[in-house]
Structure 1
């Protein structure tokens, strides 16, 4: 973790990776909950996702985790709930990547829900 991230990413969030659709039930399946370090803001900004669909953000989460992708679910705070839906998590709709300007250790990511 970079020095800037160590200083600024003091909050916790939980994310569930989207694993695919169950062939029998046609329901989405998700990985186990993973708690990450982050920072966040509640902003309402009009954005466009990777498919070109326009949406309005609910939350913006800042993290160094590079393995979170569009379609995963994320919740501010810690949760052990196996289902992101019952936990109240939001879908990650878009991701932007910014450079680690000071340390060049790990890039920073903005997760837009």
Structure 2
């Protein structure tokens, strides 16, 4: 972890990854919860219109964790719950990479969730 990330990523978030599907298309469940160092900002929520709902940004989570993917689930805070839905986690919509401008040791990531 870069010295700046060590200084700024003082919160925690928990990530769950899907384990895939069996031969019948049924979910194999979720990985064990993984707690990562981060910082975060709340965003918008679901917008309802005359023609239905629309996904919009809910939270942005900044971290050096590089393995978050669309379809994973993330929760602000530490959790040992094995089911991300039961834990209240949000689906990751996108993960964006940013350069480590000052130290060039580990890139930073913005993990964006939606509802």
Q: Scaled by the length of structure 2, what TM-score is found?
A: 0.84
Residues 67-87 of structure 1: CA deviation (Å, up to 9, x unaligned): 111111000001000000100
CA contact (8 A) 1:11 1:38 kept: yes
Q: Aligned runs of 1:94-113 on 2, under 5 Å?
A: 94-113=94-113
- Structure number with greater Rg is 2
Q: Which residue pairs with 2:82 in the alignment?
A: 82
Tell me the C-alpha RMSD between the 2 structures.
Answer: 1.7
1:60 and 2:60 are equivalent in the alignment = yes
Q: Which residue pairs with 1:33 in the alignment?
A: 33
How many residues matched? Answer: 105
1:20 and 2:20 are equivalent in the alignment = yes
CA distance in 2, matches of 1:58, 1:3: 28
CA contact (8 A) 1:18 1:71 kept: yes
Q: CA deviation at 1:30?
A: 1.2
Q: CA deviation at 1:112?
A: 0.4
The answer for unaligned runs of 5 or more in structure 2 is 46-53
CA distance in 2, matches of 1:91, 1:23: 24
CA distance in 2, matches of 1:77, 1:25: 31
1:43 and 2:43 are equivalent in the alignment = yes
Runs of 4+ in 1 over 2 A off after TM superposition: 21-25
